[in-house]
Structure 1
Amino acid sequence: MISSKKELSADQRQELLNTLKARFEKNMNRHEGLDWKQVQAKLESNPEKLWVLDDMEITGGEPDVVGYDSTTGDYIFYDCSAESPKGRRSVCYDRAAWESRKEHKPANNAVDMAADMGIELLTEEQYRKLQQFGTFDTKTSSWVKTPDTIRKLGGALFCDCRYGHVFVYHNGAESYYAARGFRGSLRV
C-alpha cells in the first residue's frame, strides 16, 4: 500500500534541517532569544511541516523563523528570500481572478498555490514585520492577503519596498507580472 502522507526521505530531511539551521544562525536578528535545538525538536516531531518547509525552499522562499507564539507553542516561519520567491511569480491573486481572464491566463494563482503548499499568504501586517528584519522586495513585489471588501470589488493588494519604504498597492486581482509573486507563513 502506498502512503499518501507527505514525508521527506532521511537524506532530504537532514539536508533541509542543515539549510534551515545555517539560515537560522546567520540571521539571529529575526529570532532573538530562540534556540535552534528547540526549533529542530519541534520540526522533527512534525514531519509534515518539514515537507511544507521543503516546498517553500524549493520554490525559492528561503524560510526562516521570525517568531514564537508562547500561547500555542508554535514557531512562526516566513519566506525570507531577498526578492519574492522565484518559483511563485507570474501568478494572479486567486482562482476567481484566474477564471475571469479570457486569454493569456497565468499558470496558477497565489491563493491556490499557497493552499496547495500548506502555507498562508502574508498579511499586510506580517509583510511589514518581515521588513523589520531587512530589506525585501526591492526589485519585485508580493501579493498579500486581501480583505474581502476589496476582493469583492475585483481588487487585490500587493507590497514591495522602494526608497527605504514599504508600499501597499492595489491591482486588479486578475493581473500578473513576472516580478510579482507571493510570500507565505507557516506555524510549526
Structure 2
Amino acid sequence: MSTKKKLSSEETTGLLKILKARFGKNAHRHKGIEWEDVEKRLKANPAKLWSLQQMEQTDGEPDVVAQDAKTGEYLFYDCAAESPKGRRSTCFDHEALEARKEHKPGDSALNMAGTMGIEVLNEEQYRQLQQLGEFDLKTSSWIQTPAPIRKLGGALFADRRYDHIFVYHNGASSYYAARGFRGSLRV
C-alpha cells in the first residue's frame, strides 16, 4: 500500500468508477441519496478517497449506507458479503498483539483501521448493516468493544448465523483466518 494519503488522478477516476457502479447496483442501501452529491463530497475530500481506496484494496467493497441529517456527511460501510479478506487473521488491538508471546498475527484490527483512516463498526452499526443484506454468513468481524470488557482482556465480534445476528466475546489476542473487521467512514 502507498504511504501517501492522496490518490493520483487515475486512481481517483478508477475508484470513483467502482464506487458509482456499486452505488447504482445497490440502490436499496441508500434510498433518497443521489450519486452526484456523494461524488461531489468525495472529490472535495482527497484523504477520504484515499481511505476508501484502502477499504477497496482490502476487499471491503465500501458503499454508502446513510447520510447524517445533522452534518450532511455520507456514511460508508464495508459491504462485502464476508469479512474483508485483506483484513482477516488480526487480533483486536495493539495491546493484544503485544501480549501474544508466540504466533503473533501480522496486525491488529484497531491498528489497521487507524492506518486506513477508518473506524471499526460498533454493535449498532453492525446490526444496521445486517438490515441491508446478509453479511458474515461464513466469517465473523471484530466490533468496537466497551472499555470494561476490554480492560478484562476480552473483545467482541459478530456474525450472522441461523438468520440471526450474534455478538460474541473472545480473548482480544485471539485471531482466526475467518475473522476480520468491517469499517466505517464519514465523508
- What is the aligned partner in structure 2 of residue 63 from structure 1? 62
- The superposition leaves residues 97-119 of structure 1 with CA deviations (integer Å, 9 ceiling, x where unpaired) of 11111100000000000001000
Residue of structure 2 in register with 1:93 after alignment: 92
Q: In 2, Cα distance between the equivalents of 1:163 and 1:36?
A: 34
User: What residue in structure 1 maps to residue 24 of structure 2?
Assistant: 25
Distance 2:96 2:102 in 1: 12
Query: 1:70 offset after TM fit, Å?
Result: 1.8
> 1:185 is paired with a residue of what secondary structure?
strand
Q: Trace 1:78-157 onto structure 2 (pairs within 5 A).
A: 78-157=77-156
Q: When the two structures are aligned, how many residues end up with a matched partner? A: 185
Cα distance in 1 for residues equivalent to 2:45 and 2:134: 31
- TM-score normalised by L of structure 1: 0.97
Provide the residue aligned with 2:160 in structure 1. 161
Structure 1 residue runs of 5 or longer lacking an equivalent are none
**TM-score with structure 2 setting the length:** 0.97
5+ residue gaps, structure 2 = none
Report how far residue 5 of structure 1 moved: 5.4
Consecutive aligned runs of 4 or more in structure 1 exceeding 2 Å deviation: none
Matched-pair identity in %: 65
3-state SS of 2:74 partner: strand
Deviation at 1:141, TM superposition (A): 0.2
Q: Which amino acid aligns with 1:23?
A: R
Distance 2:37 2:70 in 1: 16
What one-letter code is carried by the residue in structure 1 that aligns with 2:124? E
Distance in 1 of aligned mates of 2:18 and 2:120: 23
Distance (Å, rounded) in 2 between the aligned partners of 1:33 and 1:73 = 13
> Deviation string for 1:42-90 (max 9, x for gaps)?
0001111100000000000000000000211100000000000000000
Query: Residue 157 of structure 1 aligns to a residue in which SS?
Result: strand
Give the match for residue 40 of structure 1: 39
| AA aligned opposite 2:76 | F
The one-letter code of the counterpart of 2:73 is D
Distance across 1 between alignment mates of 2:41 and 2:16: 12
For 2:74, the equivalent position in structure 1 comes to: 75
- Residue 185, structure 1, aligned to residue 180, structure 2: no
Counterpart of 1:116 in structure 2: which amino acid? Answer: T
| Separation (CA, whole Å) in 2 of partners of 1:99 and 1:60 | 26
In the alignment, the residues of structure 2 paired with residue 27 and residue 5 of structure 1 have an alpha-carbon distance, to the nearest angstrom, of: 30
What RMSD over aligned residues (CA atoms) do the two structures have, in Å?
0.8
5 Å-filtered alignment, 1:4-15, equals 6-15=5-14
Q: What amino acid maps onto 1:29 in structure 2?
A: H
Q: Distance in 1 between matches of 2:91 and 2:4?
A: 29
